[in-house]
Amino acid sequence: MMVKKFRDTLTGLWSLLVGLKVTAVNFVRPEVTVHYPRQTVPSLEGYRGHIELVPSQDDPFKSKCIVCMTCVRMCPTSCISVAGSKPKKKTAGKDQAADADSGDTPKAQKAKPELESFVVDFTYCSLCGLCVQNCPTGALRFSTDVYLAGFSRQDFVFDLLGRLQSQAEHKEQ
Ligand code: SF4
Ligand code: SF4
């Protein structure tokens, strides 16, 4: 009886010492987390946030998207909706004048469709990356938007074209 009590006490003490050692080691270890929201991490390089549109090099208010719909077809959860204007047939000024002189019908040029809306429902996105990898123009990338919060599902349905344009506006100011 005495021996059992003594053994239990020793086991308890040993377990206490092991616990204290773990606490002491972690106490002196450098911090790897931050006290959010009082602090935020300095670099989010490599972080995979929701997708976002990459601005065109010529015009930061426009995206590189050519409305090919590859991302819409590839997305396994169908959370991307894209809409674009129908390509209108343009006629080139010089050719038109020349054609008019010669009496020919003006030559039609193929115009690119313009992106009108790009919406992603982030509540369904699995961050698989298929849309980013398969976009033929590199118009998509992952954002570093880590501090997301909302009150309803609708708060996570992102208008990416509007977001791109407001980012361009902020940069201009
Ligand atoms: S984002 Fe890329 S894949 Fe998606 S519609 Fe635009 S060009 Fe096509
Ligand atoms: S990362 Fe994957 S799930 Fe998310 S929008 Fe792109 S294709 Fe869809």
**Could you tell me what percent of the chain has a pLDDT over 70?**
86
Q: Which of 3-12, 68-77, 103-112, 164-173 ranks highest by mean pLDDT?
A: 68-77
Is the CB of 120 within 6 Å of ligand 2?
A: yes
pLDDT at position 119, please?
98
Residue 133 Cα to ligand 2 middle (Å): 10
pLDDT at position 86, please?
78
Other CB atoms within a 10 A radius of the CB of residue 145 amount to: 14
Beta bridge partners of 51: 142
pLDDT at position 116, please?
96
Residue nearest to atom 6 of ligand 2 (CA): 131
Note the pLDDT tens digit of each residue in 131-140: 999 999 999 9
